[in-house]
Structure 1
Amino acid sequence: MTDLSWLGPAIDVRPLFAKQHAAFIDLLRQLTSDEWLRPTICPGWTVKDVAAHVLDDHIRRLSMHRDGFHAMHPRDAEPFTVYLDRTNEEWVVTARRISPQLLIDLLSTVGEQIARFWPTVDLDALGARVRWAGPGPCPFWLDAARDFSEYWTHHQQICDATGRPGLTDPQYLGPVLDTFLRALPHTMRDVTAPKGTAIEVTVTGLGGGTWSCVRGSEAWKLQHQPFPAPTAQIELSADTTWRLCTRGITPEQAAVRAHVRGDQHLATAALRLVSIMWTPPKG
Structure 2
Amino acid sequence: MKPLLTAHLFPIVEARLLELLRSLTPADWEARTIAPGWRVKEVAAHLLDTQLRKLSRMRDGYAAGPPPQVDSYGDLVAYVNRLNREGVEIYRRLSPSVLISMMEVSSRESAEFHQRLDPMADAGFGVSWAGEDRSQHWFDTA
| TM-score of the superposed pair, with normalisation by structure 1 | 0.47
TM-aligned CA deviation for residue 10 of structure 1: 0.5
TM-aligned CA deviation for residue 75 of structure 1: 5.6
Structure 2 residue 47 is the aligned partner of structure 1 residue 47: no
1:35 to 23, 28, 37: 28
2:96 to 97, 100, 103: 100
Distance 1:119 1:76 in 2: 30
Distance 2:15 2:94 in 1: 21
2:64 to 60, 71, 92: 71
2:121 to 103, 108, 125: 125
Identity of aligned residues (%): 38
Report which structure shows greater RCO (CA 8 Å, sep ≥6): 2
Who is 1:18 aligned against?
11
- 1:74, 1:80 within 8 Å by CA — same for their partners in 2? no
Structure 2 residue 95 is the aligned partner of structure 1 residue 114: no
TM-aligned CA deviation for residue 119 of structure 1: 1.1
Distance 1:113 1:135 in 2: 27
Equivalent residue of 1:138, what SS?
coil
Residue type matched to 2:48 in 1? Answer: L
Structure showing greater radius of gyration is 1
5+ residue gaps, structure 1: 1-7, 146-283
Residue type matched to 1:44 in 2? Answer: G
1:82 to 51, 55, 78: 78
Q: Runs of 4 or more off by more than 2 Å in structure 1?
A: 72-78
- 2:49, 2:91 within 8 Å by CA — same for their partners in 1? no
Please state which structure has a larger fraction of its residues in strand.
1
Who is 2:2 aligned against?
9
Residue type matched to 2:61 in 1? Answer: G
**What RMSD, in angstroms, separates the aligned Cα atoms of the two structures?**
1.5
